[in-house]
């Protein structure tokens, strides 16, 4: 093969999709051609470039709007024909494609059965509220900076580690909590021990990044890569609401569980350094919170399940 | 009361879906809570626009809400939801093409600027712009290739998982990814490798110490 190999052929070759003779020709050419070798290595970097693109976490406003719309839909469903089994009546309202090929969410939910006008008005009210919420979303999004930053650190392929210790000292801008799923089930009685063991495996003040997620307890295993999308945005708003005016931010967030009175629920353990901004910590204040902290109608302190202070490992 | 809610939280996805189909109103809410983050992550990457993604997400969950009885047990609920979200994104994209020149709204700009600022301070690679650049570049790809790259390269799904979601053969996913990467290359080459920093004058001069 005398001419250069085009990018597509190189990419197909990298995926092992070429026929043998074609693959051989490509290999031979690339072995002798610096241009094509360089292009091949650029191609090999594309997945990495794509993987590093962060996306904003789901804004709370949009999550809320989703809840509203679905609540309206649920109300609609139970109201529309009490005796009728939901399955049948619902299916009739839908186009063959699974995803609605119907107009934007705006009017869909009611369209087929707005026989009763008060429901219709109800829905409009919900829709109007949703619009307002979305408009105000930017403020929420801005406050979520904690989430994505943490995500990057979690998923950050290589790198990061070295620069990190100095980053801790810097301003709030460079603040990066470690986010882990330790799989711990915190309890009021055992929290000291539990926190110590989490810290043992994951010292947020350590700069080598070894605190990466320990064991993929369960869920996130689906793709083996924890991305920013794995950090619930509610965690971010919770952090923000706890910080209040003090601006204190946890160094480590453990997405875990809390067990009390025989029931075990999702809980977030926030580890605050005793000396904010300093690398060397004497001890950590640990606060275990119920999800939902950070929603506007609950004071953060109400969601504290238990708390303690443990010495740094 | 609380115990009932706890029970819902412990149920597997499939059970939730069938309870929902039987009229249990809490079941679907729990499913949404479990999956919305991930579904959002897919939609925002496919559409590159938070407002569009929000609409797609809403369309998708409404579809799932109404179409739960059509779920066939052999797939994972999460796979099924991915398909619905991707279909909803597809519909959005199609509509957008019919109606060109969608004005950029403030919400989008805010998300983008947030995107820019949150990449902490001085970034020598200039990668703070990369999210926008990548979205723009992805926008130039045929949809098939874009979807494959979002799932495999951006979300990190295995090829067979992506193949399941897209309902094509794994080899098809691979070749879509390969062709997509090749097409993206010209738009992305400036994003990889901070590159030879000597483009900008190096403080350390050459060997011409005088």
- pLDDT, tens only, B57-91: 999 999 998 888 888 777 889 999 999 999 999 99
**A227–B44 CB contact, under 8 Å:** no
**The tokens of A272 are what?**
């605050």
CB A180 within 8 A of CB A215: no
- Whether the per-residue pLDDT at A277 is higher than 80: the answer is no
Residue A179: other Cβ atoms inside 10 A: 27
- Of all residues in chain B, the one with the smallest CA distance to A135 is B107
User: Which chain B residues have a beta carbon less than 8 Å from that of A167?
Assistant: 120
Give the pLDDT of residue A260: 83
Counting Cα atoms < 13 Å in the Cβ hemisphere of A46 gives 30
**The tokens of A258 are what?**
């809390």
Determine the angle formed by the axes of helices B50-67 and B25-47, rounding to 10 degrees: 140
**CB-count exposure of residue A61 (10 Å: 0-12, 13-18, 19+):** buried
**B6–A48 CB contact, under 8 Å:** no
* Range from A61-65, A282-286, B122-126 that averages highest in pLDDT: A61-65
CATH fold of the domain at B7-100: Rna Polymerase Sigma Factor; Chain: A (1.10.1740)
pLDDT band per the 50, 70, 90 thresholds, residue B195: very low
**The tokens of A139 are what?**
């403020």
**B114–A141 CB contact, under 8 Å:** yes
**B25–A78 CB contact, under 8 Å:** yes
Least confident of A186-190, B49-53, B72-76: B72-76
Three-state SS at B150:
helix
**CA torsion B171→B175→B177→B183, rounded to 10°?**
180
Q: How many angstroms separate the CA atoms of B69 and B161, rounded?
A: 23
Q: How many angstroms separate the CA atoms of A195 and B41, rounded?
A: 31
User: Chain centroid to CA B99: how far?
Assistant: 22
User: Which chain A residues have a beta carbon less than 8 Å from that of B106?
Assistant: 135, 138
Q: How many angstroms separate the CA atoms of B16 and B9, rounded?
A: 9
**B36–A66 CB contact, under 8 Å:** yes
**The tokens of A141 are what?**
């999004």
**The tokens of A219 are what?**
């869920």
Q: Of B35, B32, B21, which Cα lies nearest the Cα of B66?
A: B21
The DSSP annotation for B54-110 comes to: HHHHHHHHHHHHHHGGG--TTS-HHHHHHHHHHHHHHHHHHHHHHS--PPPPHHHHH
Give the pLDDT of residue A266: 85
User: Which chain A residues have a beta carbon less than 8 Å from that of B135?
Assistant: 53
ipTM of the complex: 0.74
Q: What is the pLDDT of residues A110-148, one digit of tens each?
A: 333 333 333 333 333 444 444 333 333 333 333 333 433
For residues A87-97, give the mean pLDDT: 36
User: Which chain B residues have a beta carbon less than 8 Å from that of A5?
Assistant: none
User: Chain centroid to CA A99: how far?
Assistant: 24
CB B175 within 8 A of CB B117: no
Placement of tokens 């059970």 in the chain = B15
**CA torsion A233→B63→A120→B98, rounded to 10°?**
90
- Of all residues in chain A, the one with the smallest CA distance to B57 is A66
Q: Does B174 touch chain A (CB under 8 A)?
A: yes
**A86–B88 CB contact, under 8 Å:** no
Of B9, B32, B111, the CB nearest to A56: B111
Residue B146, min C-alpha distance to chain A (Å): 11
Q: Does B170 touch chain A (CB under 8 A)?
A: no
Those of residues 81-120 in B touching chain A at CB distance below 8 A are 83-88, 90-91, 106-107, 110-111, 114-115, 117-120
Give CATH 1.10.1740.10 domain extents, chain B. Answer: 7-100
Give the pLDDT of residue B197: 40
**A51–B153 CB contact, under 8 Å:** yes
- Report the DSSP beta bridge partners of residue A258: A186, A265
The CATH number assigned to the domain with range B122-190 reads 1.10.10.10
For residues A68-96, give the mean pLDDT: 56
Work out how many CB contacts closer than 8 A connect A with B: 236
Residue B7, min C-alpha distance to chain A (Å): 10
- Report the DSSP beta bridge partners of residue A307: A287
**B118–A145 CB contact, under 8 Å:** yes
Give CATH 1.10.10.10 domain extents, chain B. Answer: 122-190
Of B32, B177, B192, the CB nearest to A15: B177
Counting Cα atoms < 13 Å in the Cβ hemisphere of A195 gives 27
């Amino acid at each position: 093969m005398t001419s250069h190999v085009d990018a597509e052929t190189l990419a197909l070759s990298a995926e092992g999709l070429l026929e043998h003779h074609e693959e051989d020709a490509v290999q031979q050419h690339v072995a002798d051609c610096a241009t094509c070798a360089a292009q091949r290595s650029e191609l090999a970097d594309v997945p990495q470039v794509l993987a590093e693109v962060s996306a904003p976490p789901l804004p709370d406003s949009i999550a809320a709007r989703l809840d509203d719309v679905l609540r309206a839909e649920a109300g609609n469903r139970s109201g529309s024909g009490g005796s009728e089994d939901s399955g049948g009546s619902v299916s009739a309202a839908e186009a063959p494609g699974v995803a609605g090929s119907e107009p934007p969410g705006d009017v869909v939910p009611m369209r087929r059965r707005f026989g009763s006008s008060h429901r219709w008005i109800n829905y409009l009210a919900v829709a109007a509220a949703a619009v307002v919420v979305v408009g105000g979303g930017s403020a929420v999004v801005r406050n979520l900076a904690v989430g994505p930053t943490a995500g990057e650190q979690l998923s950050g392929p290589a790198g990061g580690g070295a620069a990190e210790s100095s980053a801790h000292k810097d301003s709030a801008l460079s603040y990066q909590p470690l986010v882990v799923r330790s799989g711990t089930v915190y309890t009021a009685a055992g929290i000291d021990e539990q926190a110590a063991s989490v810290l043992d495996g994951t010292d947020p003040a350590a700069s080598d990044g070894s605190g990466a997620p320990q064991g993929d307890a369960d869920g996130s295993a689906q793709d083996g890569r924890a991305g920013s999308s794995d950090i619930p945005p509610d965690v971010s708003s919770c952090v923000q609401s706890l910080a209040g005016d003090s601006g204190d931010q946890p160094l480590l967030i453990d997405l875990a569980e809390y067990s009390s009175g025989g029931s075990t629920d999702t809980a977030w353990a926030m580890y605050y350094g005793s000396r904010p901004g300093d690398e060397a910590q004497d001890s950590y204040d640990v606060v275990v919170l119920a999800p939902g902290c950070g929603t506007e109608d609950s004071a953060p302190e109400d969601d504290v399940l238990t708390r303690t202070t443990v010495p740094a490992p | 009361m609380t115990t009932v809610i706890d029970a819902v939280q412990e149920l597997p996805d499939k059970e939730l879906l069938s309870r929902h189909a039987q009229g249990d109103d809490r079941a679907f809410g729990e499913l949404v809570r479990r999956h919305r983050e991930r579904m959002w992550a897919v939609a925002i990457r496919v559409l590159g626009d938070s407002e569009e993604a929000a609409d797609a997400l809403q369309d998708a969950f409404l579809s799932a809400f109404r179409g739960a009885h059509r779920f066939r047990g052999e797939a994972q609920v999460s796979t099924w939801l991915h398909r619905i979200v991707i279909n909803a994104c597809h519909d959005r994209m199609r509509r957008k093409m019919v109606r060109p020149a969608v004005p950029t709204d403030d919400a989008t700009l805010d998300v983008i600027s947030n995107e820019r600022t949150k990449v902490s301070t001085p970034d020598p690679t200039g990668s703070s712009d990369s999210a926008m650049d990548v979205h723009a570049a992805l926008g130039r790809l045929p949809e098939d290739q874009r979807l494959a790259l979002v799932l495999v390269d951006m979300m990190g799904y295995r090829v067979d998982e992506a193949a399941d979601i897209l309902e094509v053969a794994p080899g098809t996913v691979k070749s879509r990814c390969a062709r997509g990467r090749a097409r993206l290359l010209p738009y992305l080459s400036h994003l990889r490798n901070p590159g030879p920093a000597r483009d900008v004058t190096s403080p350390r001069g050459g060997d011409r110490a005088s």
